Amino acid sequence: MPGRLLGALLLILVLGLEQGSSSVLNDVGRFEGDTHTIAELNDLDMELEQDSVPADVCKKIKDEFKAVEKKSMAEAKREKPNSLQKGIKVVAFQILQHGKSSIADESKVRRTLQNEACVNRAIGDICKKSSVLNLLGIAASGEERISICREKVLQCLKHRPLGSVECPDKSKEEARFRTIDGTCNNVRRPLFGAAHTPFRRVQPADYEDKVSSPRVAESGDKLPNARNVSRFVHARNANRKNPDSPTLTHLAMNWGQFMDHDVTLAEEQECDCETLNSTEPECFNVKVPSDDDVFQRRDVTFFQVIRDAPHGFIAECSPGPREHTNTITAFIDASNVYGSSEEEAEHLRTPDGRMRIMKTRHGCPLGDLLPAQTDPEIPCVSRDPNRPCFIAGDERVNENQGLMSVHTLFVREHNRIAEFFGKNTDWEAEQIYQETRRIVGAELQVITYNEFLPLLLSPRTIRKNNLALLKGSRYFNGYNSGVNAQVSQAFSAAAFRFGHSLVQEEFLRFTQEGFEHKCSKDSEYTPIPVLDFGNPTYLYDKCNGGVDAIFRGLVKSPAAKVDGRFSSSVQENLFRGPGDLSDLIAINIQRGRERGVPSYTTYRNTFCKITPKVNNFEDLKNAGIGEKDINNLKSQYQSVQDIDLFVGALNASISLLLIQPANDVEVQPGPGQAQRANGLRICQWNVQRLTDSKLEEIRSLLTLPGNEHDRLDILILSETFCTQKVPDSFFNTDGYQLHRKDRMGKSGGGILVFVNNSLQAKRRGDLEAEDLDLLWLEVCPYKSRRSLFIGGVYRPPSFRVADDKRLGKNVENVHLLNKEIILLGDINIDFLCTIKLQKHPFIKMLQNLNMSQLVMEITRPLSKTCLDHIWSSHPERLINERLLSTGMSDHLPTIVTRTYKGVQQNKTEHTTITYRDIKNLNKEQFIAALKEAPWDSVFIFDDPYDVVDAWFQSGLRKFHSTETALIRLVDQLLFDLDKNKALGIVFIDYKMAFDLIDHGMFLENLKAYGHSTVDIYADDTTLSLSSDVTNGLTAMSSALQQDLGDVSRWSAANKMVTNAAKTKCLLVTGKRMLCKLDNCSLELKPANSDIEQVDGQKLLGVTIDKHLSFNVHGVEELCKKLSQRIAVLRKIRRFIPIEQRRLYYNAMIKQVMLYGSTI
């Protein structure tokens, strides 16, 4: 799985998808009043690079503004009259891509443009005054002085009234449902996330005049032509074919588009931009360069770009930079299914609570389709009245056939659920509709956060930004009304547009059996060209499977790889209407500029705070951008500070295996990375079939120019599937020698090793076994005279015990040569599953050789397992680097550096915090120990409760107790007895264990977990081992004795003493198995003293016997104890109040009666 496709860009993405409250109230209409300001809708903690202006200075600036405001407004009205442009019609592509309702009323736009002109004039007049310049303390000269002044003046005048909305009181049941337009979802701030509110900014707007003119270069010149940037920086692949993503399907592209249409839709405006040199300032067309043969030969000389409509504020001459309106709700609430206004919602639903559909008339089981578009003013690509375009909650539903199919799926889902409610409840139609809408919105959230985002973001980023949904029946209780759910400008205009790189040239279609055949047996389903934008007729195509065939194609066919390149369908053949061909990538770049989105370096350095910062073109290497792409950027941009956010972030996202990428948010150098130049860098990676495209990318990465310490010395590829038919020359790579072990027939995976020519290495075929996927090298590290063995291994999941023993024996034979060993490979044993590890023969053999495993995090995100291991006989000499995503395999590469000198902090395998005497705790030592703790073994879990669950810990946990610990043990006992296995159990007792602990700390913790008072708490520790004992108890006794030794050593290190007299052992066999054993003695000896073996032992208040009969802990004992306590209750009932009697009953009778009943 790709772990970090977009790094810094995707942080903006995920911050743009903040979920709001699910407790909402109904719509009450348009906004009036002035209780909200633009500052409230933007992030309150938005960091400004410029110095803030003192409050007393701002007060004087406001007075200056008021003095010129009326005069400026009068001049603005003369400059920009309020009359409409004559003869202007909405451009076809605006309706096709955005619909009619998202196009702003022209009179409102003109009034807003007047306001902007007023602000520009007023600020210009203010900044001409020397008194104001001196007041602001501006020391610069010329144009720079005026620019700084405008910036500082706007800081003082940024509070702009937006309006308000009143949230009426509603019942609890009515408040269950979100309003259709998103208002009052946040009752304290009703406009947060609502439709028709401005996009928020996480960085100050970057306009040339600080108000509305599109961004320019840092020097003041125009930015490079957007089409040239698209051509030369995002040039198409040499073979004009995008490589496939190995992990993302084409549905990932369409799901991203579908979700984008749930949260963002910028308001557009009508404008005459049909000539290249239009005098209308709201035109921002892209000129096609004269040497651009792709478009010039088709007589396309420019791409029409109309600036998004400015957001209309209430007050005249409202100071501040131009903002833009999001016309739909910013919440993931399925507004793309239901609409963002009451009018839309009513038009799409039926009186019985279902959604409107269209039944096909073709006599073919195509299923229900979306309702037909019947508005004659809205153009449709289809001219067939029997195959009309569709309508849905979002106006862009007809953009492509994949998107139409996803829309169709969720309308069908609504009707499926609504039909269930209609048959099984007595609800009215309104309740059926609202409850179903609520469920569908939740489905979109779960799919997005549980399935979509984990494909794009690393587990670290998801964990750090709290993007993982809670598991099980737990509910989120961290709602914060101060969080603005509105989508950011950067997300809308740049970040989420990364999905355009996922677009393939065509949509494939499949039958239910997965074949691409048509009506006849031999012919195939015809693919749908992506460049056939807006054509709905394919969904009516009964002979090619309709919606179902398209959807199967989305699931079965791969998306294009995110590599900074784009398919011709979006870069060269974007069809936006009759006679309108354009480049979507150039339009993306132009859109960011006209909306004042700051540069890539501004977001990277200031917002994302990624270190090291990028201050020049050479620094881009730290962002994971290759030399070729840096040169392309240099050819277009004057300064690195000019690079557009979309361009820079997408280039930085290209998969780089060898360089620590700086595009992951707040990446800091890992432990020991500063020493990388002083070591041997080794990488192991399961490539899952080495294809031409994978080899080409691996080769380019191996030969990447730059710092030599960023280069790999040894690259081990496993599961290559290479055979002898492929010559060595096919793999030749400059600067590297090749070693290979091909797969054997149809078995094995195949191993390929690239070794840097400057390294002394030789193949040790004499140590290898022909039937094992294991290749050994003897390597002499730099600056070292002593060689070591490096092994590349692939262990198939089909290995049996005998195979594991042969593999382990091979490693043991190498170990006997008395040299350092590093074994790397895909072992197919999950190192995060402690239960499997304890029993696995191959792992035990490696551990018996005193080898340690260094990788402690997920290496295969698809299954959330750690299958790729690095085993070393000298782990103190190795630095394990962070796993990196490549996007070419669902395994992550593991990288390790073997240093010239041992790393001091790794001399021991783990640092364990053992401070038990809280009263005498040394704070500094405790903090230091925390820093050295093996946190990777904790961070692999999404939920902290899963951590202690994996460690069989029940104490101090919600919903866990001594009883749940007993249930776990007894269930395991019964399970093993059913499998004819016996269990050896050791009940360990410690002397004065609780004297070392501050009891107050325990009492406070237990109180926090729901206990009002605590008098006693058990410290029982139990070892258990199940085994087949038909051949005797020797193996079981030996294993338990070894574990006892580990416990003794840990106890001694923690100053705890085991009480040998009270430590007992028990053999649980059941009556049936007992008769088959000749000897039932375990013969365990801790610290040179025998452990007494008993027939039954009390554990946590319950007696467990060897037959698991629970006779000792039976009815007679309970009855005797209860009888005594009830008698006491009868005697005291006359003397104490009822409350105390109830307390006595709950503490002394009820708990005895119920405890252990579940067992």
Burial of 465 (0-12, 13-18, 19+ CB in 10 A): middle
CB-CB neighbours of 672 under 10 Å: 18
Q: Which of 342, 340, 327, 411 is nearest to 372 (CA)?
A: 411
Taking each helix axis from N to C terminus, what angle separates 250-263 and 546-556, rounded to the nearest 10 degrees?
Answer: 110
Give me the pLDDT at residue 690, please.
83
pLDDT along the chain (1159 residues), means of 10: 37 41 30 47 47 83 91 84 46 54 82 90 90 85 83 81 74 80 88 92 92 94 96 73 82 95 93 82 93 91 93 82 94 96 96 92 73 88 90 94 96 97 95 96 94 82 78 71 88 90 90 56 71 89 86 90 84 72 93 96 87 89 84 95 93 41 29 44 86 73 54 88 84 88 77 90 91 91 79 91 92 88 92 73 88 85 84 84 62 83 41 48 68 57 52 60 77 78 83 58 51 46 77 80 80 75 85 69 73 84 78 68 85 81 83 70
CA distances from 1043 to 984, 1036, 1086 (A): 12, 11, 10
Give me the pLDDT at residue 909, please.
41
To which residue do tokens 């990777």 refer?
936
Q: Are 764 and 776 in contact (CB under 8 A)?
A: yes
CA 571, CA 563: separation in Å to the nearest integer? 14
Domain boundaries, the chain: 679-899, 962-1109, 1118-1154
CA distances from 176 to 427, 434, 479 (A): 15, 9, 15
SS3 469: coil
SS3 1070: helix
Q: Which residues does the annotation place in the binding site for heme b?
A: 500
The DSSP call for residue 1147 is I
CA 1065, CA 1095: separation in Å to the nearest integer? 9
Burial of 161 (0-12, 13-18, 19+ CB in 10 A): middle
- Tokens standing for 140? 């610069």
CA 708, CA 697: separation in Å to the nearest integer? 19
CA 890, CA 664: separation in Å to the nearest integer? 19
CA 91, 97, 99, 105 torsion-angle sign: negative
CB-CB neighbours of 908 under 10 Å: 10
CB-CB neighbours of 356 under 10 Å: 15
To which residue do tokens 């010239």 refer?
900
Cα angle 1025, 1029, 1033; round to 5: 75
CATH code matching the domain that covers 679-899, chosen among 3.40.50.12500, 3.60.10.10, 3.90.550.10, 3.40.50.300: 3.60.10.10
- Tokens standing for 490? 């950067």
CA 551, CA 402: separation in Å to the nearest integer? 7
CA 45, CA 158: separation in Å to the nearest integer? 15
Q: Are 325 and 309 in contact (CB under 8 A)?
A: yes
Mode of pairing for the β-strands spanning 760-763 and 751-756 = unpaired
Burial of 485 (0-12, 13-18, 19+ CB in 10 A): buried
Q: Which residues pair with 878 in a beta bridge?
A: 898
To which residue do tokens 């449902």 refer?
177
- Alpha carbon 1070 to its chain's center: 49
Phi–psi pair at 872, nearest 5 degrees: -140, 145
DSSP-H helix ranges across 55-105: 55-79, 92-98
Q: Which residues pair with 580 in a beta bridge?
A: 577
Q: Which residues does the annotation place in the binding site?
A: 500
CA 282, CA 309: separation in Å to the nearest integer? 9
CA 77, CA 662: separation in Å to the nearest integer? 49
Cβ neighbours of residue 536 closer than 8 Å, sequence gap 6 or more: 380, 381, 382, 387, 388, 389, 390, 398, 401, 404
CA 333, CA 945: separation in Å to the nearest integer? 30
Q: Are 712 and 682 in contact (CB under 8 A)?
A: yes
Q: Are 57 and 135 in contact (CB under 8 A)?
A: yes
Give me the pLDDT at residue 907, please.
37
Q: Are 233 and 633 in contact (CB under 8 A)?
A: yes
To which residue do tokens 């269950």 refer?
176
